[in-house]
A and B are shown apart, each in its own frame.
With several copies, the nearest count.
Chain A
């Protein structure tokens, strides 16, 4: 993310329908975990940028936090403020369910983003990235590339291990590998940050003298992983990224690193959340669909980006 002007407006989408015409004023509260890594930072930025597109939307952004207790009180504050809608990316979906329900009961439209509540009544609509799917996509890519050759060594650098989403990604990856008789030989967890990626990778590369495939859950920590790979000058394997940052897409495009592909995990989820919140409050529908009502759940796909299709995705990629 060197280019400071590479701002997130590239992530703002228009539906070129009368839906974008301004309507009744909408106050939306937004709360997300601490932006302690690139993707989460991008999420917030995209949401803010999206809201700026509409002159009828006022967005209240609460302090990003990893303390559920604090995030709950932020939602409580939104309820006190009687906002029209809340776009909520919970630090922990289950933990935020109760308060989200309270908001719904108070007649506020709650949009659940990325980390799912454990009750259908807690949100009007849920926008999800497909974490399990991410793992599957990465695993399938490996299988296809390995062309059935067995005995390939596969390594994995996960994100924050204590998050459910990390568990899902790893599960998807393992399941997909199983299909072609491969398994994860070495696994380390980082913290989604460049530094932690570098640390974890340096140790991993020692632990595994020879690797054929390496999946790294997050492209921001991936910058560190690549640095570590360079420090250890290793290049005998193919690396797959995750989330799909602009840096990584450029690397894939230029094709001069071990990084050959990345699995997109949309950083526009919150932005979409804002869009939907506005539509719902204004009683509009998603005119792109024949369905009149905004659907209850959107699961965004987790496509694999390679040299061949990078150009189609690079413009919507986030600057980590």
Chain B
């Protein structure tokens, strides 16, 4: 029942992991994803051999996963809190532009590259706060509020950048984020840290507990004395800041800021989160699931490219594989309960 999946999942689906704590169900939930990922890897090895299995390639996959991954972690919170955000890609673009204007770069030359990082995160958070306030206090439907932000933020980015790709001249910045301590790229490390922090925040803190409450039953949360509106603002601000971080990572990857950065991130992020087992209707979410969701999508593209499939074929295959993966997951989860 599509509808029920939207409104009251527990009626049809086996109650998914609320947090990643909650016992066997949690595992059952992710087991489907683990299997899907493993199958993917096996396919990769069979079709592309060492070209897939090599450490280099693994790092490539992780590098590709890192940027969208950080956004997805933030998205997990907003969706678990019963919201949605279509503006993440635009925010990434705006943050990357803001952090690479001649002005900011000049600042960076004086105060060091941290100035760029700082401004990117700041811009991201600011956008998030605007979203949150519109939604929580202005009572604008999240879909519409963030759609408006999507349009405005990208437009603003284009105006600021005059549609030019802004190249980063600050060597310190590129060196720091380009580095690979112990052979692990910095941005991969950032991704790992964000994921850990996200998991902890969602499952081990009152903030996380309240996020589930606000998403699961806002009225009940309010009656329990939770400041639902303020919390909602926090959630979007959090997502905004992760967008800022993602912007920094993207800047270091491409050595540029551009108003075209982050195109369609909204779909990719939401897809990763939902496939991970977080409910679009809110109240249930899992960071680990999201991590798997991101890895599955990135690995998929990687395997496709290694076998140099045509873009169209990739699209078709992608669709089919997603459905199969989810169906598989359903069955497993059902068996477990």
Q: Given the interface contacts A68-B254, A98-B255, A162-B158, does A92 sit within 8 Å of B311 by beta carbon?
A: no
Please tell me which one of the listed residues A45, A94, A186, A203 contacts residue B60 in the complex, with CB atoms under 8 A apart. Answer: A203
A77–B302 contact, CB under 8 A?
A: yes
Query: Which of A74, A95, A200 makes the CB contact (< 8 A) with B165?
Result: A95
B312 within 8 Å of A by Cβ? yes
| Complex Cα–Cα for A77 and B260 (A) | 23
Q: Is the interface of A mostly helix, strand, loop or mixed?
A: helix
Query: Given A162-B163, A203-B64, is A92 in contact with B256 using a C-beta cutoff of 8 Å?
Result: yes
B169: A residues at CB distance < 8 A:
2
Whether B165 pairs with A223 at a CB distance below 8 angstroms is yes
* Contact between A207 and B305, CB atoms less than 8 A apart: yes
Q: Please tell me the number of chain B residues within 8 Å of chain A, measured between CB atoms.
A: 46
A206 contacts which of B185, B254, B306 (Cβ < 8 Å)?
B306
The answer on a CB contact under 8 Å between B308 and A80 is no
A-B contact sample (5 more), CB < 8 A, given A164-B165, A224-B256: A61-B311, A92-B260, A98-B255, A195-B261, A231-B63
Do B63 and A94 have beta carbons less than 8 Å apart? no
Selected A-B contacts with CB under 8 Å, 24 pairs = A2-B102, A6-B164, A42-B163, A64-B311, A67-B264, A69-B68, A69-B250, A70-B301, A77-B57, A80-B51, A81-B51, A92-B165, A161-B163, A162-B260, A187-B308, A188-B305, A195-B250, A195-B260, A202-B63, A203-B60, A207-B48, A224-B253, A232-B60, A247-B165
Q: Which of A82-140 contact B (CB under 8 A)?
A: 91-98, 118
SS of B interface (majority): helix
A191 within 8 A of B: yes
Q: Is the C-beta of B314 less than 8 angstroms from some C-beta in chain A?
A: yes
Which segment of A14-22, A32-40, A308-316 sits at the interface?
A32-40
Known: A80-B56, A206-B51. A38 touches B255 (CB 8 A): no
In the assembled complex, how far is the CB of residue B290 from the closest CB belonging to chain A, in whole angstroms? 18
Answer whether residue A272 sits at the interface, using C-beta atoms and an 8 A cutoff. no
In Å, the complex CA distance between A68 and B259 comes to: 12
Decide if A60 is an interface residue (CB 8 Å cutoff): yes
Q: Which of A38, A77, A167, A199 contacts B306 (CB 8 A)?
A: A77
Of residues 123 through 142 on chain B, the ones whose CB sits less than 8 Å from some CB of chain A are none
CB-CB < 8 A to A224: which residues of B?
A: 253-254, 256
Least Cβ distance of B151 to chain A in Å? 11
Indicate which residue in A45, A62, A94, A194 contacts B308 across the interface (CB closer than 8 Å): A62
